[in-house]
Chain A
Amino acid sequence: MTYTLFVGCNIPARVSQYADATIAVFQNLGIRLYGIQEFNCCGYPVRNQNQEAFVASAARNLALAELSGVDMMVMCKCCYGNLKMAQYLLAHDENLNKKIRKILSKDGLIYQGTLHIKHLLGVLHNDVGIEALKAKITNPFQNISIAASYGCHALRPSLVTQFDNPVSPQLFDHLVEVTGAHSVAWAKKTDCCGAPLTGINDELAIEMMTRKVIDAREAGADYLCTACPFTHIQMDLIQKQVCENQNDSKPLAPILYPQLLGLSMGIDAEKLGIEKNQLDLSGIYLFMTEEESPALQ
């Protein structure tokens, strides 16, 4: 199995541990990932201002990925949702398609519409498969409850993203349970993390994040699990800022899914960039079955 890896803008600059952990896990699984240097922004941030700029930006990535001849694996949920949306628009809006074709042709690129865009979680769940993942687990977790946060842009609009059932998704839960952890049922697992309004309406963004954290804790979660840089920053850095400002509240730390999976595969915590998370994750080793956890080795 081979994929082109689309990391986007946020991950290399601010959540590099997500890329580190993903590469470590995929090495362990024997799956090859190709980076394409010419990839640019998926277009998500400019979508408020200019739809054409958004689609053009996305389409360039799609064309480059299509050239490589293999499927594209996207790590960020917002990138994923928006690349899917651009693909959908290109397929359904002839006018827009024409304009974009013209723009791409300046770079000698052409997008034919044959590319498969997959999210990291989708690749692990559908392409690698639960059974194959189980076979790689060497240090399963025990007695730990994890709240998996699905991410809006991957789930909805489901017609476009085709990620999972938008109302009661199961994919992420299955993946969490592979590691031996218990995936809690929580009401707000498909809710927004607030990241799209960070920098625009920070109070509301924090409110969204806080509600999710409270709900996850009430459902008995020990940790949150994320698979999107925006959600991760929101849950990690922003939650830390909020907790430090309020003094009394204790944070519910998020772990990136490849970090969780990597730990249960016995991959070195340093390789997974656990230390790069803002909120403390050291407690998570207590839930690991092996006497000597990777962190203590």
Chain B
Amino acid sequence: MSNHMFAFNILLYSSLFICIVGLGYRIGSWFVLKVGVYGKKSSVASRISAAFKAIFRVLFSLKVLKLFQSFISDVVFQRRIFVKAGFFRWLAHILIFYGFMLLLFMHALDDMITQRLFPDYYSTINPFLFLRSFFGAMVVIGLFLALSRRFFKKQLRIKTTRIKTTRMDAYAIFIVAFIIFSGIFLEGLTMTSHSEFERMLSDYAGLYDEEEITALEGFWVENYALVSSTIAAPVDAELLSLGDEVNDTYCMSCHVSNQWGFLGYGIAQIVQPFAVWLDQNGGVTLFWYIHIVSCFLGLALLPFTKMFHMVSVPVSMFVSAVRNDDISAPENLATINAMELDACTHCGVCTQSCSAAMMSEVIGNEYILPSEKMRALKNLMRKRRINQKELDAICQGIYVCTSCERCTVDCPSGIGLKDLWVNVREDLIQSHVPESSILSPFSFVRGIQRESRPGIYKRPIHATPVYAQPIMEALNAVCSNGNQVIKDEAPLVFGKTIQSGRTEKPVCAGDFAACFDCRNCTLICPVVASYEKPEETLGMLPHQIMCSLGLNLIDPASQSAMIWYCLTCYQCQEHCPQNVLVCDHLYSLKNYAANKLVPEQKPENFFKFKAGDNFNRRNT
């Protein structure tokens, strides 16, 4: 066995080394990753020192009580999982977590922990033999619950929907299952193994009488699932009673009945037909290797897989228990956001409650869903290869958000998603191609957070000069050459149009024919009334747009800023004497223009909007 122990030690120390270095790397990256606007503004050194200051402040204040409370409720009882993800997922997680942890402490670290607590510890006596199976069974049931959620969720589609099982999710279940099942098989095979029986006999029993040995073997074959090449069940009753006596005398003090280890015993029953062959061909050793290699693989890969959540989620919980964004330093927000990317377990609770889920379904962009967006951001921040199309999708995904903050309220890991979205969104729209959904009420929250106000939005995320830039870029992109149309009574020039073939032209309902150009729509429009020379800013005015639609000049009509500056107050439509659906047509044109905006074909702009120069209003 010494060769095996050598291999064991080599594997143990190398995987432990990889794990520790990996943990250092992952935790260190929280201070290095540049997530969003905050991330770009702060240096690594300032982030580390700010973090230490903040931790110091928390530890030496009453907030430490909050940490303690969070530890008890969120880590020990996993309350947030219960409240946010529901009873079954909580049960699955609790079973796996506690089953695995108790196995780790009682079984894997037995010489360090169990032996010290219980000096007469033997893995083969009760309660230890029974508990090993019991904890194993907890994990197995938990794994079954966790898997069944992924396969049998159809009837719950209203609540659980649209969430994919990623490779990471599969790995997490797989590695735990592999460790546990290889352990159960190892136990079962050991029970059947005749060579193990002989080893125990020579190591522990001190029994030399041939007849007694045979009787004991018979007893074990009959009762303890041992498989012998010489004795087969059912065993002769006389031999059995002698075996029972011998067992009582020599074995019972440190080996209870194998039935107590019910999982292994069950496996022993199943493998019985092959047991002799397996034993002769090193089956026990093989499964021992499979078991320890999977354990050490799990350990070594812990920092680089979903299993890292064992470290990052408690950190995220503690942070969410004590964070106060009004007073924390921007450096810390950068660090927190980077940490939170790691704390996401892709559990999908946020996506279940996402207000924009239907939009994701129709638009066909999964990054609108928060859990998928997190996955994309992880890749984006770690600079994995991301093509332009993917980046566009992320950009749209992060903007098509109703800011209902339900994801933040519901996150079982306590991730402050709403702040993360704002931080990353701002960075993406500042540095990325124009995103047409900026020109929609999705921007409302960005608009009201424009200025800082103590207690509400203390820290405006964008400096004032850059605030308007993404809006103007989006507007330039969708308007293209539209605004050169109505100028100085020159003839209409239809130059470039954005061609993509991605959208159908809006179907004209035909009600334009009824338009007799009374200009009621334009006269009543509060937007038009706000400008001294409206056509300079707005391009075509409502009646001109209706006129163009009547002439089937959809492209120029869809390139007027008017449609994007429309307040959708429906005054025009309400006051049209001919019942033309003016405002609804503006909506159709917006759909048309937005969908034409294919980022790789960014149109050249004839008409440049600049922030602030479009407000030559009549009465300032």
Check B158–A196 contact: CB distance below 8 A. Answer: no
| Chain B 552-599 residues near chain A, CB threshold 8 A | 564-565, 567-571, 573-574, 581, 583-584, 587-588, 590-591, 594-595
Query: With A and B bound together, what is the CA distance between A47 and B530 in angstroms?
Result: 24
Closest 8 pairs (CB-CB, A-B) = A199-B443, A199-B447, A9-B404, A156-B570, A198-B447, A192-B569, A53-B362, A152-B569
CA of A197 to CA of B439, assembled, Å: 8
A201 to B583, CA, bound (A): 18
- CB contacts (< 8 Å) of B158 on chain A: these are 38, 64, 107-109
Q: Known contacts A108-B158, A208-B567, A238-B448: does B440 contact A48 (CB below 8 Å)? A: yes
Report if A9-B456 is in contact (Cβ < 8 Å); known contacts: A158-B574, A191-B526, A194-B567.
Answer: no
- A69 on the B face (CB < 8 A): no
B227 within 8 A of A: no
Give the chain A neighbours of B437 by CB distance below 8 A. 46, 48-49
Are A156 and B157 closer than 8 Å at their CB atoms?
no
Whether B382 is near chain A, meaning CB under 8 Å from some CB there, is no
- A176 close to B (CB within 8 Å): no
**B residues within 8 Å of A by Cβ?**
157-159, 161, 353-359, 361-363, 400, 402-406, 436-448, 450-451, 453, 456, 471, 526-527, 530, 564-565, 567-571, 573-574, 581, 583-584, 587-588, 590-591, 594-595, 612, 614-615, 617
Please, which residues of chain B bring their CB within 8 A of the CB of A157?
A: 570, 573-574, 581, 583-584
Residues of B within 8 Å of A107, CB to CB, are: 157-158, 161
| A49, B567: Cβ atoms closer than 8 Å | no
A40:B355 contact, CB within 8 angstroms: yes
Inter-chain contact A197/B362, CB cutoff 8 Å:
no
22 A-B pairs with CB atoms under 8 Å apart are A9-B404, A14-B448, A40-B358, A41-B402, A45-B442, A45-B444, A48-B437, A49-B591, A52-B362, A103-B362, A108-B157, A108-B158, A152-B571, A153-B570, A157-B584, A195-B444, A201-B471, A202-B450, A204-B527, A205-B447, A230-B444, A237-B448
Instruction: Chain A residues near B447: list those with CB within 8 A.
Output: 198-200, 202, 205
CA distance A207 to B358 in the complex (A): 34
Q: Is the CB of B530 within 8 A of A53?
A: no
Q: Residue among B158, B363, B567, B574 with the most chain A CB within 10 A?
A: B567
In the bound assembly, the distance between CA atoms of A44 and B403 in angstroms comes to 13
List A contacts of B568 (CB < 8 A): 152-153, 196
Q: For the complex formed, measure the closest distance between the CB of A49 and the CB atoms of chain B, giving whole angstroms.
A: 5
- Among residues 128 to 171 in chain A, which have CB atoms less than 8 Å away from a CB atom of chain B? 152-153, 155-158, 166-167
Contacts from A to B (Cβ < 8 Å): 8-10, 12-14, 37-38, 40-41, 43-53, 56-57, 60, 64, 78, 103, 106-109, 152-153, 155-158, 166-167, 191-192, 194-205, 207-208, 230, 233, 237-238, 240-241, 245, 278
- Given the complex of chains A and B, what is the CA–CA distance between A146 and B437 in angstroms? 37
Query: How far apart sit A173 and B438, CA to CA, in the bound complex (Å)?
Result: 36
- The smallest beta-carbon distance between B363 and chain A, in angstroms, is 5
Q: Which residues does chain A contribute within 8 Å of B405, judged by CB atoms?
A: 12-13
Which single member of B355, B453, B570 contacts A241 (CB below 8 Å)? B453
B530 and A207 contacting across the interface, CB-CB below 8 Å? yes
Task: Tell me whether A233 and B359 are in contact (CB under 8 A).
Answer: no
B444 touches A53 (CB 8 A): no
B441 touches A166 (CB 8 A): no
In the assembled complex, the CB of A161 is this many whole angstroms from the nearest CB of chain B, namely 9
Give the distance in Å from the alpha carbon of A238 to the alpha carbon of B570 in the complex: 23
Known interface pairs A41-B402, A208-B567; A199-B574 also in contact (CB < 8 Å): no
CB distance from A75 to the nearest CB of B (A): 14
Residues of A within 8 A of B161 (CB): 106-107
A197 to B448, CA, bound (A): 11
Q: Which single residue of chain B is at the shortest CB-CB distance from A108?
A: B157
| Chain B neighbourhood of A10, CB < 8 A | 403-404, 444
Least distance between A167 CB and chain B CB atoms (Å): 8
In angstroms, how far is the closest chain A Cβ from the Cβ of B87? 15
Contact between A201 and B402 (Cβ–Cβ < 8 Å)?
no
Known: A53-B362, A191-B569, A207-B617. A40 touches B530 (CB 8 A): no
- Closest-CB distance, A240 to chain B (whole angstroms): 8
A46 touches B439 (CB 8 A): no
Chain B residue numbers with a CB within 8 Å of A14 are 445, 448
Contact A49 B443 (CB under 8 A): no
B404 touches A41 (CB 8 A): yes
Q: A153-B568, A204-B565 are in contact. List 5 more A-B contacts (CB 8 A).
A: A40-B358, A57-B359, A199-B444, A200-B565, A237-B453
A99 → chain B closest CB, angstroms: 9
A residues near B439, Cβ cutoff 8 Å: 48, 200
